[in-house]
Each structure stands twice: as C-alpha cells, then as structure tokens.
Structure 1
Amino acid sequence: MSIELGLWRIDDKLQPIHFEPMESESRLEDILAKNIGILAPELMVIGRQVRTSFDKVIDILAIDITGNLSVIELKKEKTPRNIVAQVLDYGSWISTLHDEDIANIHNNYLKRYFPEKQLQSINENFCRYFNVKTMPDELNQSHQLIIVASFLDPSTERIVDYLAEQYKVDIKTIFFRFFKDGESEYLARVWSGEPIISSNSTDSESRKWNGEYYVSFGGNDKNRDWEEAIKYGFISAGGGAWYSNTLQMLAPGARIWVNIPGTGYVGVGRVISPAVPVENFRVKDEPIISLPLNIAKSNRSDVFPDSAEYLVGVDWIKTVPLAEAVKEKGFFGNQNSVARPTDPKWNNTIERLRQRFGVTS
C-alpha cells in the first residue's frame, strides 16, 4: 500500500503544511515509548534497546493484555528489505523467551529509564496498566512484529503482505510523518492494513479458565523422579521462588494434569494437601526426608530458603510411566510449575488426554 499523506491548515484559503524529516529517529522512539497508545492502545512497553543473544538491539519491546509480545522496530538508516529481515530475526529470538527472561527485560528497562520505579515488578505494573487483577499464567504464546517507517518501497510492502497473507506471520507496518508549521509540530500516523490489536485476541468466553490446573514436573531433573512422585503421591518444584511460588495456587480438591516438558503428559490427580517445604512433607506418618529418595530433600527451607524444594500432596487418578507419556502436536505447554491456562487449546488438550487416559469426567 503506497502512502502519500497531505496536511493543510484552513485559513481564508488552504495552506499546505510541509512534511519534514524528523531531526532524529531516536526522538520518535522517545515519543513512542512514552506514548505507546498512539501506535497501539493495547500495548505496554517493557523494554527499550533490548539486546538479543546475537548482539543486536530491539528498539522497543511491548506486551499486550493477553501476555504476548510485540517487537517495535524503527526503520532508521536500514534499507527497507533489511528491516524486514531484521524484525523476522528478532521474532525468532523473542519466541524463545521464558517468563523469567521477560521479567528481567522489564526490570532492566525500569532500572535504565525509570530508576525511581526499579523495585516495581512486572506483575504489579501489568495489573495497574491494564486494570486487571492478575497477569496471564502463560506469557509469550505468540508475538507480533511492527515496523515503524515514514515510507517503504513497493517491493518491501509486497514482501510484508506476502508474509502476512501466505504464511500468517503477524507483521504490520505503521507510517509516521512529521509536519512543521512555524513553531508548531505535528505527527501523523497511518496503518498499513488493519489497526493493531492484541495479537492473540479471541472472544472472552473462549479464554475463560476451565478450573483445571496445568503442572510442569521436572521429571528429567536428577532430583525429581516421576516414579517416586507416583508412589508417594506428590508433585514438587524448587530451585527458586519463580518455580516454587506457583505451587501455592493449588488447594485441596484442585485437579491437575501433569506434563514433563520434552516427554509428555504422565498423570492426572487431585490435590490433597497444599504446598509445604520438603522437610514438612510426610508420607503417612514419616517425614519424606527420612526416606531414601531422589527428591531434593537437602534443599530444606531452613537451610536454603532461596532455593527450597516444596511438595504438594496428590491423590492420583491416572498415571503412566515415562515410556508411555502422551505427547501430541498442538498440546498445551508452559514453563511455569503451575498454571491456570486460558489458552483455548488447553480445553482441547484436556479433552484429548481424557480419551488417552480413559478418564471419563
């Protein structure tokens, strides 16, 4: 889509307002970072000048209300075709980010640009910004790429359209033009295609949590043995508050579906006791730390408070050994130890698991 934007002042006769290049694109970056709503009202900035693992720098990184990320890249001195290749490269990188990576990017952003706010967490800023009570349990399930430019050549526009239409890449272009009228300055915006909305928007009904919990169990960790978890009725997590805190979501009666990342789903059960430090978990009347198990029983909360192991008691409904783990393309997955998924594919995953496990209700 070729863009040609004109602006006139209405006096006794029309007076054209002349387009001028902005003196520096860093100024436009400043404007967008401070007023992200003019680009997309459903985005919150979590990073600027974000350095990737391959030593390139993303201009602005943002998150939407569904927990998905947006790369915002200004064309600057790059040739049009190079900017498309670059944002695709950035997309490949952000698709690998875990929740803790996203939190670290946000923390570094506050430390660099808003040092007076650097103690604020991404959770509280997200909830305040979007006026919600909690962040989504699963972040970065998809992402979008946004190119900001004053113009693109026709060939590059065709490439962007081809990626979006034929390969369903969530890539968009937004054109900004700078105008000056005496001492007054104006910034005009034009979208190429549809205005930007949440990159994973669905109707609210389809994104309601169904009441069943996802659990990620470290079955490939030498300190966590799935056969022991089956025999003694527990799930566990530790190595840091990031991993163990989500266990507090599980109350007696909650139904959990257990996935071992890279292996597959291995069990479904009901919680019978809330999370406690490993030294407080008992098997019948015996402390679990007195048993000859692989569980990380040395990570007691009174010795290693920052990396303590926590256990949740479970009454198993159905379990399978690792060799029979259920893994299918399209199944829901998440890096959190516990999640309340609102992704529509969670319902599909559970329905399929019921069939595979022979669980009727």
Structure 2
Amino acid sequence: MPIRTDLWKIGSQPEQLVESILQAEQLLEDMIVAAPRMLSDEWMLIGRQEDTGFGGRIDLLAIAPDASLVLIELKRDRTPREVVAQALDYACWVEKLRTDEITAIYSRFAPGRNLADDFSQKFGQPLDEDDLNQGHQLIIVAASLDASTERIVAYLSAQGIPINVLCFQVFAAGDFQLLSRSWLLDPVNTQAAALTKPDTTNEAWNGEYYCSFGDGASRSWSDAVDLGFICGGGGAWYSRTLQLLNPGDRVWVKVPGQGFVGVGRVTGRSQPAATFKVTTPNDTVSILDAVKSGDYHRQFLDDETRCEYFVPVQWLQTVPLTQAVQEIGLFGNQNTICKPTTPKWRATVERLKQKFPSFDSDAASLSA
C-alpha cells in the first residue's frame, strides 16, 4: 500500500494535523537545494537541471562519501511509469559520466568552487578519482506516492537496481506547513546495490564481506583487536551497512591508507554504542568504558542516526597497522561494509588468504 503518515499535535486533547499540498512542486526542489539534509546529510549536491543530451534534464545530482553518484528525480505531475522510466533513462547518462564531466557539472552548480576540495571538507577524506562514479543510486522524490509507483520500484529493487523513493507529505499547522519524510525501502539495501554494476565484469558474490575501518580520532584498530569488534558511525551512511552482517559471516578488514589488517567471524548483530557491551578480564562493561583510544562519536550517543554502531567479531588473524597488507591491485571501497562482486575482490581474497593463513581457523564458539 502507498506510504502514508499521520501527524498529531501533542496535548491533553491530541489534534490530528490535516494533510495539505505544496503551492508548487518547484518549491520542493528549491527547498532541497537550500537544505540538502532534507534528503540526506550524507550526500553533497553537485548538480541541478543538467542536460543529459537525451532530450531531458535531471533534477538533481549528488555525490556520496564513497564517490558514487546519486540521481534525484522529482515526481512532479508525471505518471508513475513516466517518472520511473525517465529515472532509468537518465541513469544511463549518469553511469557514463567521466571525471572531467562531473567536475564541469559541479563548476556550473557552484561557480568558483572546487569539487575535490569541497568533497574533502564535507566527508573528511580525499576524493579519489579511481573511486568516482563507480556506482550510482536512483532516488525518486515525491510529495505523494501511489500504489503503482510503489510496486514498480519494489520490483526493480528486488532485481538489484539501486532505486528508492523518498516520500514527503505536507501537513497544515495553523499558518505553517510541515513536511514528513519516509523511505519506501530500507536505504541500506539501495546503498549496497549501488556498489554492484550490472555488467559482464561482475560475478557471483564469493560470500566474503569487506570492511573499511577508519582508524583515527573516531575509532582505534587496537581497541577493535583487543575487544573484538568492528564499527562505524557519524551518520547513517557509515553505520547502516553494518546491518548486512549476521553471525557466522567472515569479514576482511582494511584500514584506508594503511591496508588490510585482519579477518574475523561475526558473532552478533549491529548494536548502537549505548547498548553494546564487551567482556573484559574483570567484568562485562559498556563499550565506551572499555575502549582506550578514539571518541567513537560519544557526542552523538543519544542520536540513533549519528551514534557509533558496533558488531562483535571473533578475530581469526590480525596484524598491527605497521604490518598492514597493502599491494597494488587489491580491492578498496569507502563503504563500512560491502559485498563486492568484482573479479578484483575475488583475487584480493585469494591473495589475503595467503597473507592471513588462519582465515579458516575452527571457530566452534562462534554461536556462543
């Protein structure tokens, strides 16, 4: 059924807010440009109303922390089939954008600004041209959603197309209007699907997970080894892919800029810092009482979107950062967790098995 939200004004006699409409669909696009966090605080807008050369213009274009692109189309007054078909058509254009073309798009969107500099300032990491546009998402923004659009998008998503709908509903509150926001599908699945290009170079997933662990001010690899965990936080983009992991999964960990540092088996599901506990020689304590380095986004402890999330891991083999495995040709990605399907990942795992010979150690206690 179509996404619907009801809002109520709190009081001794709760009052349901009346659903309203925007004065103009254009207003929604203008508001998104003025406040991109309406869509996501993990994307940076880089383009607006760009000519695709296919007889149309995209509404908005954004970039994610892993340098993948996000195509954003507003439903406006188009039929469900029209807006979905147009998004897919525009995706053909997005997929083929080169680095120089993306840079030029940003120059038109933000004259006088530099894409690499602004990316680094936004995400706290350099923009690697090799990672730029290695995947993309299709996001349809609608002020209302009908059953037909929902069925079409859900079907495409189930086929591995990285498509989702962000539905905004408008409510009247006196002289003001309020917006509510709802995703049609879990964004973690769309983000994961964006990493897989539907081309002939991909192959069946080998069952091995990749983890990007950002050692630094926010978290510590030595803590992770000593206490048995991997983690991510500071925003949903960095933490939600941890939900892909289940007990028994094997995960290979890479510290960006250093190399691969360990392999382990997952022993539990993702948990926020507020509830995650670890066992020390003396007692079972909260993770934030046990770690020795890193802030683990303590300032966001009560913010379920930006707090740090942890997954317990039984390490099979680890090395210190000074012995990290870094070789030309090994796989890398900025997503905290991903399921790569490229030949490069298969070759990387085979090489890592040589470097970490205990990768298949017996782990009878994993289910404990």
TM-score between the two structures when normalised by the length of structure 2: 0.54
The answer as to 2:144 corresponding to 1:151 is yes
State how 1:335-346 maps to structure 2 within 5 Å. Answer: 342=333, 345=342, 346=344
Q: Which residue of 2 aligns with 1:6?
A: 6
The answer as to 2:36 corresponding to 1:36 is yes
* Equivalent residue for 1:203, pick from 194, 205, 211: 211
- Please give the per-residue CA displacement for 1:261-305, whole angstroms capped at 9, x wherever unaligned: xxxxxxxxxxxxxxxxxxxxxxxxxxxxxxxxxxxxxxxxxxxxx
Partner Cα separation in structure 1 for residue 4 and residue 12 of structure 2: 25
**Would the alpha carbon gap of residues 348 and 4 (structure 1) be closer, same or farther in structure 2, given more than 3 Å must change?**
closer
> Structure 1 residue 352: deviation in Å?
8.7
Q: Which residue of 2 aligns with 1:244?
A: none
The answer as to 2:149 corresponding to 1:141 is no
Residue pair 1:210, 1:347 contacting (<8 A) in 2 also: no
Residue pair 2:211, 2:254 contacting (<8 A) in 1 also: yes
**Would the alpha carbon gap of residues 102 and 19 (structure 1) be closer, same or farther in structure 2, given more than 3 Å must change?**
same
Q: Which residue of 1 aligns with 2:81?
A: 81
SS in 1 for 2:30: helix
**Would the alpha carbon gap of residues 16 and 342 (structure 1) be closer, same or farther in structure 2, given more than 3 Å must change?**
closer
Partner Cα separation in structure 2 for residue 14 and residue 352 of structure 1: 61
**Would the alpha carbon gap of residues 351 and 183 (structure 1) be closer, same or farther in structure 2, given more than 3 Å must change?**
closer
Q: Which residue of 1 aligns with 2:202?
A: none
Q: Which residue of 2 aligns with 1:178?
A: 170
Instruction: Kindly indicate which of the two structures has a greater share of residues assigned to strand.
Output: 1
> Structure 1 residue 152: deviation in Å?
2.6
Instruction: Extract unaligned runs of 5+ from structure 2.
Output: 196-209, 214-252, 260-325, 335-339, 352-368
Paired letter, 2:175: E
Residue pair 1:72, 1:145 contacting (<8 A) in 2 also: yes
* Equivalent residue for 2:154, pick from 143, 158, 161: 161
> Structure 1 residue 351: deviation in Å?
8.0
Q: Which residue of 2 aligns with 1:60?
A: 60
Residue pair 1:160, 1:172 contacting (<8 A) in 2 also: yes
> Structure 1 residue 92: deviation in Å?
1.1
Q: Which residue of 2 aligns with 1:126?
A: 119
Residue pair 1:207, 1:342 contacting (<8 A) in 2 also: no
Partner Cα separation in structure 2 for residue 256 and residue 16 of structure 1: 60
> Which entry has the higher C-alpha Rg, 1 or 2?
1
SS in 2 for 1:102: helix
Q: Which residue of 2 aligns with 1:356?
A: none
**Would the alpha carbon gap of residues 13 and 32 (structure 1) be closer, same or farther in structure 2, given more than 3 Å must change?**
same
Residue pair 1:208, 1:342 contacting (<8 A) in 2 also: no
The answer as to 2:183 corresponding to 1:191 is yes
Residue pair 1:73, 1:147 contacting (<8 A) in 2 also: yes
Paired letter, 2:163: I
Partner Cα separation in structure 2 for residue 106 and residue 123 of structure 1: 10
- Please give the per-residue CA displacement for 1:226-273, whole angstroms capped at 9, x wherever unaligned: xxxxxxxxxxxxxxxxxxxxxxxxxxxx9867xxxxxxxxxxxxxxxx
Partner Cα separation in structure 1 for residue 185 and residue 348 of structure 2: 36
Partner Cα separation in structure 1 for residue 350 and residue 8 of structure 2: 60
Partner Cα separation in structure 2 for residue 181 and residue 194 of structure 1: 29
SS in 2 for 1:58: coil
Residue pair 1:65, 1:198 contacting (<8 A) in 2 also: no
The answer as to 2:96 corresponding to 1:104 is no
Partner Cα separation in structure 2 for residue 255 and residue 14 of structure 1: 62
**Would the alpha carbon gap of residues 107 and 151 (structure 1) be closer, same or farther in structure 2, given more than 3 Å must change?**
same
Residue pair 2:66, 2:333 contacting (<8 A) in 1 also: no
SS in 1 for 2:88: helix
Q: Which residue of 2 aligns with 1:269?
A: none
**Would the alpha carbon gap of residues 190 and 350 (structure 1) be closer, same or farther in structure 2, given more than 3 Å must change?**
closer
Residue pair 1:175, 1:189 contacting (<8 A) in 2 also: yes
Alignment RMSD, CA only? 3.0
Paired letter, 1:203: C
State how 1:260-275 maps to structure 2 within 5 Å. Answer: none
> Structure 1 residue 186: deviation in Å?
0.9
Higher mean Cα deviation, 130-139 or 186-195? Answer: 130-139
State how 1:271-290 maps to structure 2 within 5 Å. Answer: none
Residue pair 2:212, 2:333 contacting (<8 A) in 1 also: no
Paired letter, 2:211: D
> Structure 1 residue 198: deviation in Å?
4.3
- Please give the per-residue CA displacement for 1:212-234, whole angstroms capped at 9, x wherever unaligned: 9xxxxxxxxxxxxxxxxxxxxxx
Alignment coverage as a number of residue pairs: 224
Instruction: Extract unaligned runs of 5+ from structure 1.
Output: 112-117, 213-253, 258-331, 333-339, 354-361
Residue pair 2:72, 2:138 contacting (<8 A) in 1 also: yes
**Would the alpha carbon gap of residues 53 and 352 (structure 1) be closer, same or farther in structure 2, given more than 3 Å must change?**
farther
**Would the alpha carbon gap of residues 352 and 56 (structure 1) be closer, same or farther in structure 2, given more than 3 Å must change?**
farther
